[in-house]
Amino acid sequence: MIKLESVKKLFQTKDGPVHAVDDVNIEIEKGEIFGIIGYSGAGKSTLIRMLNMLERPTSGTITVAGKNLSNLSERELRKERQRISMIFQHFNLLWSRTVRENISFPLEIAGVPKEERKRRVDELIQLVGLEGRGESYPAQLSGGQKQRVGIARALANNPEVLLCDEATSALDPKTTDSILNLLVEINKKLGLTIVLITHEMHVIRKICHRVAVMESGKVAEIGPVLEVFKTPKAAITKEFVKQVTEPEETIDTLNHLLEQNPSSHIVQLTFVGTKAEQPLITEVIKQFDVSVNILQGKMSQTQNGQYGTLFIQLDGREQSLKEAIRFLNEQQVQVEVISHA
């Protein structure tokens, strides 16, 4: 559906050239929810803006729905942009228009007749759950409602691709979840390909099928979300994975526990997919002469399966501890023995 081949973007600044995007190769399947994560300045924003040519690549080719965007004339590009819509961090609604008129805006641009526009707007308002708010102005809506208008507007011309530029970054956690659920629903219902950029791993975990991690203009790692969570390779990926698996204060607590009881072992278990459902801890206690203290656990649902982490403290004789850890290792669960962090 979308294919990026050695895409580069160079910005000339007063301090010399900056490689915002540096030799990126990504292929995105039809109907996929593809996430791009990175810190600010990683080039993800430039990258997504190149997918509808708001930003032109310095070199490389970008193909969307079989068309090489760089080769299109202005006129063809405008036509193509109606098939690649976008939602934004700050919604970018027209304050002078009501909800209805905002949703109708892309239809007016596409030259859809008035009757047809009215019918379509009604459908869209229902799809995004904004019944009864049609005559409100954006200033009267909450952030979440504004983004719903943004989504309805983006879907108006039945696009094939939806680009989400930090679409939930300005929203509170609860609203973020409801918007993400709406995106998943739309993805399933309409078979829409969604590309989103974010700096929150939580967003990737919750809705993406595959993820690319970006750092200083390059793709540091790319793969199915579950894979990346299970075995993050690049240092930056590990940082992002930690965002969702261990809260900041965990490390401090673990250090404190190890100081109190130096003979014990603290083990981090990472369960992926069906493994998350095994009664593993019970087995360890039954088979080995160790005591198990559960410190922290967390289960997360991703688009292709469950994902969980569990921190436990094992105490007992050195020999039993070794055997227990060996047993855990054999269970196809990621095991990491944590020493002083």
Residues that bind other proteins (CB under 8 A): 52, 54, 77-82, 84-86, 88, 90, 92-97, 105-106, 108-110, 137-139, 153, 157, 163
* Token pair for 155: 């879907």
| Number of Cβ within a 10 Å radius of residue 41 | 14
32 vs 165, which CB is nearer to other proteins?
165
Strand-pair partners of 19? 10
Q: Are 300 and 340 within 8 A, CB to CB?
A: no
| Number of Cβ within a 10 Å radius of residue 73 | 8
| Number of Cβ within a 10 Å radius of residue 247 | 13
Read off the amino acid at residue 331.
Answer: Q
87 vs 207, which CB is nearer to other proteins?
87
36 Ramachandran zone, left/alpha/beta (phi>0; psi -120 to 50): beta
169 vs 304, which CB is nearer to other proteins?
169
132 vs 139, which CB is nearer to other proteins?
139
Q: Where are the alpha helices (DSSP H) in 156-310?
A: 173-190, 201-207, 225-230, 235-245, 248-260, 280-287
Spatial distance between the Cα atoms of 12 and 314, rounded to a whole number of angstroms? 56
| Minimum CB–partner distance for residue 94 and other proteins (Å) | 6
| Minimum CB–partner distance for residue 157 and other proteins (Å) | 8
- Which residues 6+ apart lie within 8 Å of 213 measured at CB? 37, 38, 219, 220, 221, 222, 228, 234, 236, 237, 240
| Minimum CB–partner distance for residue 74 and other proteins (Å) | 9
111 vs 132, which CB is nearer to other proteins?
111
130 vs 333, which CB is nearer to other proteins?
130
80 vs 246, which CB is nearer to other proteins?
80
Q: Are 10 and 18 within 8 A, CB to CB?
A: yes
| Minimum CB–partner distance for residue 51 and other proteins (Å) | 10
| Minimum CB–partner distance for residue 284 and other proteins (Å) | 54
| Minimum CB–partner distance for residue 286 and other proteins (Å) | 60
163 vs 325, which CB is nearer to other proteins?
163
| Minimum CB–partner distance for residue 105 and other proteins (Å) | 7
Spatial distance between the Cα atoms of 230 and 250, rounded to a whole number of angstroms? 19
| Minimum CB–partner distance for residue 30 and other proteins (Å) | 21
- Write the DSSP symbol of residue 138: G
**Does residue 185 sit in helix, strand or coil?**
helix
